[in-house]
């Protein structure tokens, strides 16, 4: 197993745990974005570019934007 794949998987595990235990909802969304980008990198490393592009676009892109819009709607991000 390549050392780069191991590093990406460790970052993914740490990101999943951090997203679950973080109290700040915006921070949790940002950690989720990092998790999705790491998953896209892992898909690319496994020679599945179609899944990598989909994960990056949907997981890190559209879903994160929807989460941030939802946070604004429930007024969590207002100071």
Backbone angles phi, psi at 46, to 5 degrees: -90, 15
Is 57 contained in some domain? yes
CA–CA separation, 44 and 76 (whole Å): 35
Q: What string of DSSP letters covers 23-76? A: S-HHHHHHHHHHHHHHHHHHHHHTT-HHHHHHIIIIIIIIHHHHHHHHHHHTTS
Q: Is residue 16 part of a domain?
A: yes
Please write the tens of the pLDDT for every residue from 48-69: 999 999 988 998 889 989 998 8
Domain assignment present for residue 79? The answer is no
Q: Is residue 79 pLDDT above 80, yes or no?
A: no
pLDDT in tens, 3-16: 988 898 898 899 88
Q: Which domain holds residue 69?
A: 3-73
Identify the pLDDT of residue 71: 86
Residue 61 lies in a domain: yes
Helix (H, G, I), strand (E, B) or coil at 22: coil
Domain count, the chain: 1
Residue 78 falls inside a structural domain: no
Tell whether the model's pLDDT for residue 1 goes beyond 80: no
Q: Does residue 8 lie within any of the structural domains? A: yes
Say if residues 34 and 14 touch (Cβ distance below 8 Å): no
The pTM (predicted TM-score) of the whole model is: 0.80
């Amino acid at each position: 197993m390549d050392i780069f794949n191991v590093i990406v998987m460790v970052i993914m595990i740490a990101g999943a745990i951090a997203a679950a235990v973080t109290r700040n909802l915006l921070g949790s969304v940002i950690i989720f974005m990092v998790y999705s980008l790491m998953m896209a990198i892992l898909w690319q490393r496994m020679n599945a570019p179609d899944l990598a592009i989909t994960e990056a676009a949907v997981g890190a892109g559209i879903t994160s934007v929807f989460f941030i819009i939802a946070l604004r709607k429930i007024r969590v991000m207002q100071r």
